[in-house]
Amino acid sequence: MISLSLDWFLLAVLGVGLLALVMLWVPQLWFRHPHRWSNSELQICRCPKCHYSFFVPPQQNQAACPACKERFRIRCRGNFLRY
Ligand SMILES: [Zn+2]
């Protein structure tokens, strides 16, 4: 039988606990956001005047509505689509 003092036993318990914590933490870092939703190239913009929805290139900060020809600034630049 292995004789183990209390100090070495507590150190072994602490080491096993830290090892278990690292084994749970590393996969969380690895698989954090593997498939985050994002717009591919275009974003959807909605006209504030007539509520017509249309696509706009992502670097554009102004748009003209194709339905009513109203020009306005694009305010919402999120990574998600709003319906
Ligand atoms: Zn419009």
What is the rounded distance in angstroms from the CA atom of residue 46 to the CA atom of residue 56? 10
Lowest pLDDT segment from 3-7, 29-33, 53-57: 29-33
- Measure 22 CA to ligand 1 centroid, in angstroms: 54
Q: Which position has the higher pLDDT, 39 or 67? A: 67
Q: Is 1 exposed, middle or buried (0-12, 13-18, 19+ CB in 10 A)?
A: exposed
Of residues 29 and 9, more confidence is placed in 9
Q: How many CB atoms lie within 10 A of CB 19?
A: 10
69 CA distance to ligand 1 centroid (A)? 6
